């Protein structure tokens, strides 16, 4: 049996359609991750209009209802897993902590790594499912020569989501199915339409599910209960104070808006949490070649520590970034990456994922 992670969207719904058409025994699982009606300190009571806006976000109550409708249409069993505690502990709290530490987090990757595939695989096995399927645009295969499970880009390069899945372990990959890996988005919608899926034309969610106001900084302040003054200095590259900020969690490397600098365009080039400084400068100062990595996960290789020297690969340092050639190696217990040419806004807290063509070698998190 295969447990299909059903979010209520067209992708996961189509994944279920394809598996059922193949004659597979499937069950639908939805995950309740965040209480959309939860109030944080300082929140006002939501109006009816605001509640409707919340319902259009990823993993909302309406999404779970849509998933239930699809499961009923396909005549498959359906269950809802309450993973709110796990989600808050492994996604929301690190998201807030990362911003307060001067980083720019990627909560969707944390959710995939520590909730959707970690807890989902475990819960699925408890109901007798040997594998888990999702609607991600990626592929997985076993390489007998290497003796390893490999993660590959989805065939539709515009929708490829392998970047968000770099943290999957060998055990998780061995139990994962990506039915959409060979398809394009238009093909997926057409399959859903022909199958009579009620959500075949549902728009894609673009928002982070737990940030209801649209302001990450406001959420960080409310969730962490910030009461004291978090203001500090904005300094230039020479260390001269040129302004004041209202908290480093309101800035990210590469940002231009909200700095308030006059004259030539200025950008955030570095955040120094220890000094509570936001460093600004011209665009040229954002160009860098080398950075260090933390919490690396390796997929196509066992570990970089056993290699004699650097590996050559293409490195992607954020979503919608064209991977660039680089060398990756281990030095003094630390994974280092050096691009062949300088790249703009290498941002602490974001993921760096390594590719050999369409194969994910591994990845990790850019350090401060």
Percent of residues in the chain assigned helix, strand, coil, to nearest 5: 30, 30, 40
Residue whose C-alpha is closest to residue 360's, from 166, 135, 154: 166
- Given 59, 108, 209, 313, the catalytic residue: 209
Cα separation, 328 vs 227, in Å, equals 42
Active-site residue flag, 209: yes
Active-site residue flag, 58: no
> What would the two tokens of residue 278 be?
């936001």
DSSP secondary structure letter of residue 88 = I
- Given 59, 111, 194, 313, the catalytic residue: 111
Q: Where would I find the beta strands (DSSP E) of the chain?
A: 2-5, 26-32, 78-82, 131-133, 138-143, 148-153, 176-177, 232-235, 241-245, 267-272, 277-281, 287-298, 311-316, 324-331, 334-344, 351-356, 359-366
Residue whose C-alpha is closest to residue 179's, from 365, 21, 338: 21
> Which residues are the active-site residues?
111, 209
């Amino acid at each position: 049996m295969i447990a299909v992670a059903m979010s209520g969207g067209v992708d996961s719904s189509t994944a279920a359609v394809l598996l059922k058409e193949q004659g597979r025994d499937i069950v639908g699982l939805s995950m309740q991750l965040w209480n959309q009606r939860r109030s944080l300190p300082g929140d006002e009571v939501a109006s009816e209009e605001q509640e409707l806006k919340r319902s259009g976000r990823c993993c909302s109550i309406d999404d779970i209802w849509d998933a239930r409708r699809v499961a009923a249409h396909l005549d498959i069993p359906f269950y809802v897993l309450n993973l709110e505690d796990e989600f808050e502990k492994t996604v929301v709290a690190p998201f807030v902590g990362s911003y307060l530490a001067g980083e720019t987090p990627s909560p969707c990757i944390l959710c995939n790594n520590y909730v959707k595939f970690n807890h989902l695989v475990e819960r699925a096995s408890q109901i007798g499912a040997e594998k888990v399927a999702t609607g991600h645009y990626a592929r997985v295969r076993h390489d007998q020569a290497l003796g390893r499970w490999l993660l590959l880009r989805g065939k539709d390069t515009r929708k490829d989501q392998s970047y968000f899945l770099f943290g999957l372990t060998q055990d998780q990959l061995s139990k994962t199915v990506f039915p959409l890996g060979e398809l394009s988005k238009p093909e997926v919608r057409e399959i859903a339409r022909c199958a009579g899926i009620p959500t075949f034309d549902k728009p894609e969610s673009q928002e982070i599910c737990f940030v209801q106001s649209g302001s990450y900084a406001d959420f960080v302040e409310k969730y962490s209960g910030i009461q004291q003054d978090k203001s500090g200095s904005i300094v230039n590259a020479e260390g001269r104070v040129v302004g004041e900020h209202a908290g480093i969690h309101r800035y990210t490397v590469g940002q231009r808006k909200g700095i308030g600098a006059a004259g030539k365009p200025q950008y955030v080039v570095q955040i120094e949490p220890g000094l509570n400084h936001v460093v600004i400068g011209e665009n040229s100062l954002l160009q860098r070649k080398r950075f260090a990595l933390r919490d690396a996960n390796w997929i196509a290789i066992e570990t970089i520590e056993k290699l004699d020297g650097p590996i050559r690969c293409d490195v992607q340092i954020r979503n919608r970034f064209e991977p660039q050639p680089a060398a990756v190696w281990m030095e003094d217990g630390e994974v280092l990456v050096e691009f062949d040419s300088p790249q703009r806004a290498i941002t602490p807290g974001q993921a760096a994922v390594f590719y050999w063509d369409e194969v994910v070698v591994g990845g990790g998190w850019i350090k401060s």
